Amino acid sequence: MDKILEGLVSSSHPLPLKRVIVRRVVESAETPLSQAQCRAMFALSTRLVLQGPDPFQRQVGRQVLEAYGRYHRDEFEAFFNRGLVLGLLQRGYGELSNRDPAILDYIQAGLRLIMSCPSVLELFELLQVEALRLVCERPAPPLCARLCQLLGDFPQCLPRGRKLSLAFCQQLVRSIAHFQSQGTREAELRLYVSQVTQVSGLLRSVWKAEPDTLLPSLQELFAIISAADTSFEPSVALASLVQHIPLQMITVLIRSLTTDPNVKDASMTQALCRMIDWLSWPLAQHVETWVIALLKGLAAVQKFTILIDVTLLKIELVFNRLWFPLVRPGALAVLSHMLLSFQHSPEAFHLIVPHVVSLVHSFKRDGLPSSTAFLMQLTELIHCMMYHYSGFPELYEPILEAIKDMPKPTEEKIKLILNQSAWTSQSSSLPSCLSRLSGKSETGKTGLINLGNTCYMNSVIQALFMATDFRRHVLSLNLNGCNSLMRKLQHLFAFLAHTQREAYAPRLFFEASRPPWFTPRSQQDCSEYLRFLLDRLHEEERTLKALSSLKASENIMNEESQTQEADHKSQVFAPCIESEERTLIEKMFGGKLRTTICCLNCKSMSQKEEAFTDLSLAFCPPTSLENVGPKCMESSEVKDDCMVQTNTLANSPAGETFLSNLEVNGGCDAIVNEGPIKDFSTEPNSENTTNAELDKIQDNSDMSQRLVDKNTLSVTDLLNYFLAPEILSGDNKYYCEKCASLQNAEKTMQIIEEPEYLILTLLRFSYDPKCHIRRKILDNVSLPLVLELPVKRTTSPLAVDPGSWSAGVEICDIGENLAKKLKPSGADEVTCPQLVPYTLSSVVVHSGVSSESGHYYSYARNVTGSGPSALCHQSTALSLVSPQDKLLTEESPCTVVENELDMEMPREWFLFNDSRVTFTSFQSVQKITSRFPKDTAYVLFYKKQNSTCGFNTNSANGLWVNGDPPLQKDLMDAITKDNKLYLQEQELSARTQALQAASASCSFRPNGFDDNDPPGSCGPTGGGGGGGFSTVGRLVF
C-alpha cells in the first residue's frame, strides 16, 4: 500500500483523480495490517509531512498519518518513540533543519495520537528538557511561537521544578528581546504580531500557574532593557509582556526599582527610553500606564536628571506615534504627562512645536470621530503649554491659526492641569546641560544663551547691540590692557557680530554687569538693569578720563595743557574726539529736561535742568479719563502706577543738576497747554482762584478728546501726558521763596536737548499692597514706527541758571506782562520747538503678569543715523506742540511713510528670544499684545534720524561708515580660536552620532535655559486613517 501511495502522489495524474485514490487509501486504514506495513505507512507519511515538495503531498502525509495512527495505535506508539523525537529535535529530518517549525508541527500531531499511551510520559520528560534548550538557543519568532503553541496545548511539556521553570521564563524573555520582523508588508507584520502574542501568552500562563516566576522574569526584563550594550537593541516585542503584569504590582515594583541603589542612573535612563519605544507596539495594553508610573516614581525620588534626559531624548518619538491610530491613545497619554511635568524649561515643548501644525491638519482631514476626539485632547495640551511658556510668538502663531476653530480651555483649568502635573520647577542639573551644536540661523544674527533667568539681560543686550551707531563705536574703542566693563561689553558685541555659533553664553559679562542686589537665577526688571548698566559705563569712562587727564597734566607741559583739563582726554576712548567732556553714554543716550515751576500767586518762576538717559512714561488710571486738562496734584500721595520717573546720569559735568526720579501725578492723556496764564496777583484767595482757572483750562478738552476716545493708547499719548502742564495744589502746594509760603503753582517740563537714542520705558508695574507684589498693567500701547520729538531751545536772554532751582525770578506784577514773557505766542515766542525725527529701533517685550516672573524678549532692526532721510519733514508730522497747533497724532503723512518703509524692507526686523533669532515684521511688533495679551512692549529704543552722533566714522582702523569697524587683534584672535573650537565640537558630535546609530530617534538638546519662575519661562510622516488592524502596515518597529 505504501508503494502504491508513493507512486500515486508523485505521478502526473490529474489532481481530482489523486484525491479520490487517496481517500480510498485513508479509508483502508481500518483494515488490519502487519507491523511492517504499518511501519512503512508511518515512514512514508512522515516523509511526506516533513519533506513533501508541495502542499498536496504534505496534506496527504498528515491525513494518512492521522488515520493509520488512530487505527494502529500500538504500532504508531512503537514508531513515534523517544529516539525519533529526540533525533527530530536535535538533528532534524534529512535536509530539514531541526529549527524548522514543521518539526514541531509533526511532534504535536504525534503527541495527540499517543496521548492515551503510557509512553507519552517519557516524551513529556524529554520535551521538558528540549523546550528549555530550544529557548536558550534564541529561536526565531516562527519557531518560538510554534514551540509555545505546542507547550500551550501540552502544558505537561513545560519544564518542571522551580529552578527549571524560572530558567525557562527568563530565557523566553531573552528570546523575545531578540525578535525582529522579517518583513514590512502588512500581512508579514500581522503574522509577526500574532507570533509574538503567542509567546507572551505562554508566559502569562506560566506566571499564572507559578506566581514565583513573575518577579524574576521582570528582573530579567529590566536587565535586558537597562543594558548599556550598544551592539544589541532589544526588540519592542517586549512590550507584549507588559499587558500581562498585574496592575496591582505597579506601586511595589516602581518603588523597588526607583529606590534600588544598585540601579545606576545610566541604566534607568536606558530602560525608560526603551520602555517609551514600546509605545510603537500595536495592541499592547498598559504600556503607557507603566511608563507614566515610572516617570512619577522617578520624580518622587527627585531623580530629575533622568527625567530631563529621557524627556528631551524621546519627546519627538512619542509625538510621532500620534500619527498611528493603533498606538495613538497610549502615545498621547505619555506625551501629555511628559510635557506637563517638564515645567522648568520650554525645551521639550519646543522640540515638537514644528510638527504640531501638520498633525492637526491630518486629524482635520480624517474627519473620523476618533481623530476629532484626539484633536480636542491635543489642542487642550497645546494651549496649556503655550500658556505656561508664553513669550514665543514666532513659534506659536502658526499653531494658533491651525487650532483656532477648536475649543480653548479656561485659564482656571489650565492652571489646575499644570499644578497637578509638575515634578520640578528647577533642577540643579541644568547647568550641566550642553547647548545644541548648530550654525547660525538664516538671519545671520547670534542669540544669547539663557544662563538661568537672564532673559532680562539678554533682551537689553540685543537691543543695545542693534543700536548700530552705539555698537560701532563700542567696537572701535581701543581698550587693550583695560579690564573695564566697557571692555567686556566690547568683547560681547564682537562675539555677537562674528561668532559662528548659533548662540553665545555671556557668562563673564553677566557676572560683571549684574547689579549687586540682583539675586542670581531669579527674574529681574530689565529696565532697572538697563539703567544700572548705562550708569556703570558712564561712571567708568568718567573715572578713566579723570585719571588720564591727571597724567597728561603732569607730563605734558605745552600750550594745549594750559587751556582746559578736559582737552587731555583719555586715549582709552579714542573715537571720542569731540565734546570731550561728554562720555559715550551721554553722547548716545543722554538728553536734557528743563523743569519750570511758576507760582500762580506772584508769578515768580524757577527752573532746573536735568540730564536723562531714559524717560519713564506712566499710564493713567481709568477714573482720570474724564479730565483731559492739565494734571492736578492735590494730594501728596502718588501711586506707584502713576509715577513718571526720569533716569539721570549721576555726577554729570559741572553746571548741571540731576533728579533721581521726577514725580508726576499719573493720570489721563493731556495736551501741552502753552496758552497765556492769567494774572492772579490781585486775587487774595489763590485756592479759589486756581479752581476757577482750572475750569477755564479744561475748556480746551475738546482738543484732546480724540486721545480719550481711543481704545488703544499710543506712545505719543503717553508722551503728551508726560509733557503736559501740572497744577501743584492742595497737599502738594509749592513753597514759593518770594511769597515765603505754600502756593498753588504750575509745573511744566520741556526737552531742551535730545538724545541720539531715545529710550522710553512704559511704567507697567504697580505695587499691590495687599499681595505685596508689583502687578502688571496689560494695556495695549500702539507703537509708532516714526516719531517726532519737540525740542525747545531757549533763544531769549530770559534764561535762568541751569545749575539749580532759581531763587525766584523778579518779574513785573502786571499779570499780562508776565504772561507774555512766560508763554507768549506767535512772533513773541522765546522757545522755538524743533521737531526732531526718530525712528523705532528696538522694542523689549515682557511676557507675564508681574515683574517677579515672566519672560523678556526683544524686537529690533538695524537703524543708523544715515537712515531714511525723508522721514517726516512735514509740519503735520508726529509732534508735541501747543494747543494752538496740532496734537501729537498718528494721523499724519508719517503713517504713510511707516507703511512704505516696512513694506520696502519686510525682513529688516528680527525677534531675539534668548538663543533663538528669527525674522519678523513691524506688523508682528504692533500686534503682539492683541495676539498674546500677556506680552506687552516695555522698553522702546528710538533712533534720531540724519545724525552722525558727533563722531568721525573714518576711524584710524579704516573706513566703516556702512559697516562695523575692524576688530582689535586680541578680539579677533579670541573669536578665531573659539570658532576653531566650535568646528572641533561639531566634528566630535558627528562622530558620536555615527557611533550611536541605533538611537535613531535620539534628538539633540536645544541650547539655552529659559526662565524657571512661574508662570512663564524665562527657559512625521504618514497620516492617520481608520482604526483596526488595517493600519498596522504604517507602524515602524
Tell me the per-residue pLDDT of 182-238, one tens digit each, with 9 for 90 and over. 778 888 889 999 999 999 999 999 999 999 999 999 999 999 999 988 888 999 999
DSSP β-ladder status, 916-920 and 734-736: unpaired
pLDDT score for 169: 94
pLDDT band at 555 (very low <50, low <70, confident <90, very high): low
**C-alpha cell recorded at residue 774:** 508689583
pLDDT score for 963: 60
DSSP state of 932: S
Please, what sign has the CA dihedral across residues 14, 17, 21, 27?
positive
Mean pLDDT within 27-33:
80
Tell me the per-residue pLDDT of 915-939, one tens digit each, with 9 for 90 and over. 999 999 998 898 888 888 899 999 9
**C-alpha cell recorded at residue 25:** 487509501
d(CA 340, CA 389): 11
Mean pLDDT within 297-325:
89
pLDDT score for 461: 96
- SS3 assignment for 715-736: HHHHHHHHCCCEEECHHHCEEE
Chain Cα centroid distance, residue 119? 72
Burial class (CB within 10 angstroms; exposed 0-12, middle 13-18, buried 19+) of 522: middle
User: 3-state class of 746 per DSSP?
Assistant: strand
pLDDT score for 1: 61
Mean pLDDT within 726-748:
90
Mean pLDDT within 73-94:
90
Distances in Å between the alpha carbon of 409 and those of 17, 356, 413, 416, 929?
A: 74, 18, 6, 11, 20
Least confident of 149-158, 586-595, 902-911: 902-911
Least confident of 10-24, 400-414, 534-548: 10-24
Distances in Å between the alpha carbon of 684 and those of 258, 407, 431, 680?
A: 86, 68, 71, 8
pLDDT score for 794: 60
Q: CA triplet 312, 317, 318: central angle to 5 degrees? A: 90
- Check if the beta carbon of residue 601 is closer than 8 Å to that of residue 680: yes
Element (H, E) at 707: helix 705-709
Mean pLDDT within 1011-1015:
38
Does the pLDDT value for residue 645 go beyond 80? no
Angle subtended by helix axes 485-498 and 969-995, to nearest 10: 50
Please, what sign has the CA dihedral across residues 863, 869, 875, 876?
negative
Does the pLDDT value for residue 566 go beyond 70? no
Least confident of 792-801, 884-893, 945-954: 884-893
Q: Which is more confident, 592 or 388?
A: 592
Tell me the per-residue pLDDT of 236-252, one tens digit each, with 9 for 90 and over. 999 999 989 888 888 88
DSSP β-ladder status, 745-753 and 726-728: antiparallel
**C-alpha cell recorded at residue 303:** 531623580
- In order, the DSSP letters of 271-338 are HHHHHHHGGGSTT--SHHHHHHHHHHHHHHTT-HHHHHHHHHHHHHHHHHGGGSTTTHHHHHHHHHHH
User: Which residues, in sequence order, are bridge partners of residue 591?
Assistant: 612
Q: CA triplet 428, 431, 434: central angle to 5 degrees? A: 135
Does the pLDDT value for residue 903 go beyond 70? no
pLDDT band at 824 (very low <50, low <70, confident <90, very high): very low
Length of the chain: 1037
**C-alpha cell recorded at residue 707:** 486721545
Residues 6 or more apart whose Cβ sits within 8 Å of residue 349: 339, 342, 385, 389
Mean pLDDT within 123-144:
92
Please, what sign has the CA dihedral across residues 502, 508, 509, 511?
positive
Tell me the per-residue pLDDT of 658-696, one tens digit each, with 9 for 90 and over. 333 333 333 333 333 333 333 333 333 334 334 434 343
Percentage helix, strand, coil for the chain under 3-state DSSP, each rounded to 5:
50, 15, 35
pLDDT score for 116: 86
Please, what sign has the CA dihedral across residues 131, 132, 134, 138?
positive
Mean pLDDT within 8-17:
74
- In order, the DSSP letters of 1009-1021 are B---SSSS-----
Highest mean pLDDT (candidates 387-401, 488-502, 657-671): 488-502
Mean pLDDT within 872-886:
36
d(CA 158, CA 127): 8
What's the first-to-final CA gap in the chain, in angstroms?
A: 51
pLDDT > 70 in the chain, percent = 71
Cis check: omega of the bond before 55, within 30 degrees of 0 = no
d(CA 163, CA 154): 20
Mean pLDDT within 930-950:
84
Q: What is the CA radius of gyration of the chain?
A: 42
Q: Which is more confident, 242 or 656?
A: 242
Least confident of 490-494, 772-776, 896-900: 896-900
State the amino acid at position 806 in one-letter form. S
**How crowded is residue 605: how many other Cβ atoms within 10 Å of its Cβ?**
22
State the amino acid at position 102 in one-letter form. A
The number of C-alpha atoms within 13 Å of 438 and in the hemisphere containing its C-beta is 15
Q: What's the mean pLDDT when you consider all of the chain?
A: 75
User: 3-state class of 71 per DSSP?
Assistant: helix
pLDDT band at 795 (very low <50, low <70, confident <90, very high): low
Q: Which is more confident, 889 or 294?
A: 294
pLDDT band at 170 (very low <50, low <70, confident <90, very high): very high
Does the pLDDT value for residue 724 go beyond 70? yes
pTM of the model: 0.59
Does the pLDDT value for residue 617 go beyond 70? yes
pLDDT score for 1016: 40
- Check if the beta carbon of residue 421 is closer than 8 Å to that of residue 342: no
Q: CA triplet 501, 505, 510: central angle to 5 degrees? A: 150
Does the pLDDT value for residue 878 go beyond 70? no
- Check if the beta carbon of residue 392 is closer than 8 Å to that of residue 915: no
- Check if the beta carbon of residue 106 is closer than 8 Å to that of residue 149: no
Please, what sign has the CA dihedral across residues 147, 152, 156, 159?
positive
Mean pLDDT within 535-550:
87
Mean pLDDT within 858-866:
79
d(CA 72, CA 79): 11
pLDDT score for 179: 92
Q: Which residues are catalytic?
A: 455, 855
User: 3-state class of 805 per DSSP?
Assistant: coil
pLDDT score for 131: 92
User: Which residues, in sequence order, are bridge partners of residue 747?
Assistant: 597, 726
pLDDT score for 889: 40
In the chain, what's the furthest Cα-to-Cα distance? 152
Q: Which is more confident, 976 or 179?
A: 179
Least confident of 81-95, 164-178, 770-784: 770-784
User: 3-state class of 635 per DSSP?
Assistant: coil
